Amino acid sequence: MLKKIRVLIVDDSAVARQTLEEVLNSDHEIEVMATAADPYIAAEKIRREVPDVITLDVEMPRMDGITFLQKVMSQHPMPVVICSSLTDAGSETALKALEYGAIEIIQKPRIGTKQFLEESKVRICDAVKAAAQAKLTRISPAERVIPPKLTADAILAKANNRSEAMLRTTDKVVAVGASTGGTEALSAFLQAMPLDSPGIVIVQHMPENFTKAFSTRLDTICRISVKEAENNDTVLRGRALIAPGNHHLLLKRSGARYYVEIKDGPMVSRHRPSVDVLFRSAARYAGKNAVGVIMTGMGDDGAKGMLEMKDAGAFNIAQDEESCVVFGMPKKAIELDAVDRVLPLSAIPAAVIRETNG
């Protein structure tokens, strides 16, 4: 019998603790070992028994979740999933949580938390499972029916021919997909890109209202421009466009101009935005003018789309297992034979530049 993932829930709301406990215990791979109303109680419980994963609220009495996260990751690193009510202003705090070592962010509303947690059962359980698999480094100071797992067909039909992708152009485009651990991987990747880098379009699994703060922070530390994508934004050299949370991002083309479409619709591969949707659109509209990059992440989102890119003539790169926080998405793409090169994160920027200048 497989060992269950033991979870400690830290949240000052009794309703949130009870609902999260029910949601997590409904998954046969997960067991809630304890709950705590604040970090001091949590610390006592950890001293008695170390959990496999912690779910952590941010706004709590006596000690906030970010301070507790810093202490945990500096003294006894363990996987942490932030589960908090995030406003636009609070998104910067959540971004800081990822920098301090949190594996994932679950954004819960300030009103209707119980219903949200119940409806988000699959996502919450997947986040905990991903966290349990994560490789960590010490940082200095009620049962619901699972919705069908949709493919990219739900958003964009697969091209019947490659005429749209075969159009001649002097510019190439880079399509990137990432999930768990992707915030820091993308930060490292984009900081290494030169001012004249090819246009980049990115799907990172993130909550709504969070991608804007993430994009803004990257824009301040990267040589290239980084922004949260808006509908009809042109894909330009020296600029990266990041899919807004809770919306699909598609690459489109008009003549030699690449642009993006922001689209609502069902979750694809259990995600919105979905890497599969982005990669399918890249296969359809860019073809051999595209370079695909799949980074650290739980699950298989992006693998099938990357195979479509390869079939359309794109050059594809996967992040290697050693440099991934979770070697899920790249592994699935490699297993499908959708990848041309498997590289450590530090080597991906140079490889992208070589391929787009070739």
**Active-site entry in 27, 38, 233, 301:** 301
Cα–Cα distance measured from residue 36 to residue 13, given in angstroms and rounded to the nearest whole number: 10
Q: Tens of pLDDT along the chain (358 residues)?
A: 578 999 999 999 999 899 999 999 999 999 999 999 999 999 999 999 999 999 999 888 888 888 999 889 888 889 999 888 754 445 677 777 877 888 888 877 666 777 877 778 888 898 899 888 887 755 454 433 445 666 667 666 676 655 455 455 558 999 999 998 898 899 999 999 999 999 999 999 987 778 888 899 999 999 999 999 999 999 999 999 999 988 999 999 988 899 999 999 998 888 899 999 999 999 999 999 999 999 999 889 999 999 999 999 999 999 999 999 889 999 999 999 999 999 999 999 999 999 998 6
3-state secondary structure of 250: strand
CA gap 334, 320 in Å, rounded: 10
Q: Closest by alpha carbon to 316, among 211, 208, 176, 192?
A: 176
Dihedral of CA atoms 13, 298, 80, 74 in degrees, nearest 10, equals -160
DSSP string, 152-176: GGGTSPPPSSSTTT-S--S--EEEE
pLDDT number for residue 357: 86
Which residue shows structure tokens 């970090």? 39
How many Å apart are CA 282 and CA 291, to the nearest integer? 9
* CA-to-CA separations, 228 to 17, 93, 202, 219, in angstroms, rounded: 33, 18, 10, 10
Residue 120 has what pLDDT? Answer: 80
DSSP character at residue 261 = E
Reading the block at residue 169, the tokens are 């152009």
Q: Of the residues 126, 205, 215, 271, which is catalytic?
A: 205
Contacts of 38 (CB under 8 A, 6+ apart): 10, 12, 60, 61, 62, 63
Strands 257-263 and 199-204: unpaired
Write down the catalytic residue from 84, 91, 120, 179. Answer: 179
Q: What is the pLDDT of residue 350?
A: 96
> If you count them, how many residues does the chain have?
358
Phi (first) and psi of residue 177, to 5 degrees: -130, 140
Q: What is the pLDDT of residue 97?
A: 82
- pLDDT (0 to 100) of residue 179: 92
179 catalytic per annotation: yes
- The pTM of this model reads 0.77
| Measured distance CA(276)–CA(155) in Å, rounded | 10
Q: Which domains does the chain have, with CATH numbers?
A: 5-133 (3.40.50.2300), 153-158+165-357 (3.40.50.180)
Predicted local distance difference test score (pLDDT) of residue 90 = 53
DSSP conformation class of 271:
B
Assign 114 to helix, strand or coil: helix
Whether 205 is catalytic: yes
